[in-house]
Structure formats: C-alpha cells, structure tokens
Amino acid sequence: MSPQLMAHRGNSGLAPENTLAAFAKAVESGADWTELDVRLSADGEVVVMHDATVDRTTNGTGAVAELTLAELKKLDAGSWFGPDFSGERVPTLAEVIELVGRRIRLNVEIKSANNPLTVGKVIEALSAAGLLEQSMVCSFALEALLEARQLWPGGRIALISGRGQDLEIALRHGLPWFNVEYHAVDEALVRQAHEAGVKVSIWTMDEPQLWDYYAALGVDIICTSVPHLMPV
C-alpha cells in the first residue's frame, strides 16, 4: 500500500508556513494530511506557530506565549515569504479547522508542551468540531503525549523524534505512532514498529526521487514541505 501524503506546516513550499494560505494549498495539492504546530497565546488561545517567537515568520518580535491573540493578529505572517502573501495572519487552530478541517486530516503538533493547558485545548477543539477520530496529535514531549492519551484513550497519538532508537520509547509507552526524521528510517525499523502494531510517519522528506524508496520500506505516511511535487 502506498504511503499517505502529509503536507508539512501546510504546503510550505508554495505559501508561508502555518498560514491559512498554506493549508488551502495543502488541500489543493491532494495531500491526505496536513501537519501544523500549535502554541498558546498569552490569553490562552490555541494559535498556529512553529517557533517560540514570532520573529522568523512575521514582521513582529517577541514570544508567542507573551502576546495576546489580538496582538498576534496585527502581525503580517506572509510578507517574509513573498509579496503575494502580504497581510497573511497568524491563524488559530479553530480557523484552520473551519477552513480545511473537513477537506484534509489534521496532524496537530503540540509545541508549548510546558503549558499544561495546551493538550486539553487541542483535544477539545478537535472533538468539538467532530474531527478528533480522524486526526493525529503529536509531540516531541512524552509528557504531553501521555496526557493526550488520558484525554483520548486509543487515539492516534504520535511520538516525534529525530532518532530511530527512540522507537523503543513509543513501544514502552504503547504509543500507536512513531513520527521520525526520514534519514533515521530503515527497513528494520519499519518492520520492528509494524510487528509491534506501531505505524511510522517520516519527516520532512522533500526529495521526490526518494518517494519510491521510502514507500518500499513500508512507511505509513510521508510528510513533506512540497506535497505538490511528490509522485502520488
């Protein structure tokens, strides 16, 4: 079976990452999934942003956790990518759900794992929209994943890692998905995971010529910043 296609931060090859424009282009590219990163604003809103600060991807400065949603909404999150995206705003998780939640599956990465409210708010938002059962929640932070499992028993919860040997952590804690950096994957890892009932997603594989190689290894999802270039 061919791997499913996941867009990384939306179609971040064609639009500024983690913006509504990028998520719309992920749908247009035919991706099965889109990955997005979430943090809490100073006033507790779930906003979509990879970095801890807004400096790299907006015209503002400062920590996401120290800015209110109203302050974040004043920022230009698109001009850095290109003039066509001038005025693109930092979206909330709710806005992503409203725009594309019924057209593409959501893989929500918990970034502000040190904030005890983040996981619950993400699960609540997906559940309220009727999208929880078709979504994925992932994180590098094991504690966040264990909390997610308490709130969503049997849910699609994934440990993220850059190291293949961290599969052992997913196995030990009974996590059903292992999302691992693509260079760390080989046939033995995929076999070990699958024999234990764990599915494997790889990130961030942006080389179309390698699609068939990873498909042959049996990975379940390939996450890429250029879904429109993948031969699927």
Catalytic amino acids? 8, 50
189-220: string of b/e by CB count within 10 Å (b at 16+)?
bbebbeeeebbbbbbbbbeeeebeebeebbbb
DSSP for 20-58, written as a single string: HHHHHHHHHTT-SEEEEEEEE-TTS-EEE-SSSBSTTTS
54 by Cβ neighbours in 10 Å (0-12 / 13-18 / 19+) ranks as: buried
In this structure, the chain runs to a length of 232
Phi, psi for 114 (deg, rounded to 5): -75, -10
Contact 3, 31 (CB under 8 A): no
What token pair was written down for 110? 């918990």
DSSP 8-state assignment for residue 196:
T
Answer whether 113's CB lies under 8 Å from 142's CB: no
Specify burial of residue 2 (Cβ count, 10 A radius: 0-12, 13-18, 19+). Answer: exposed
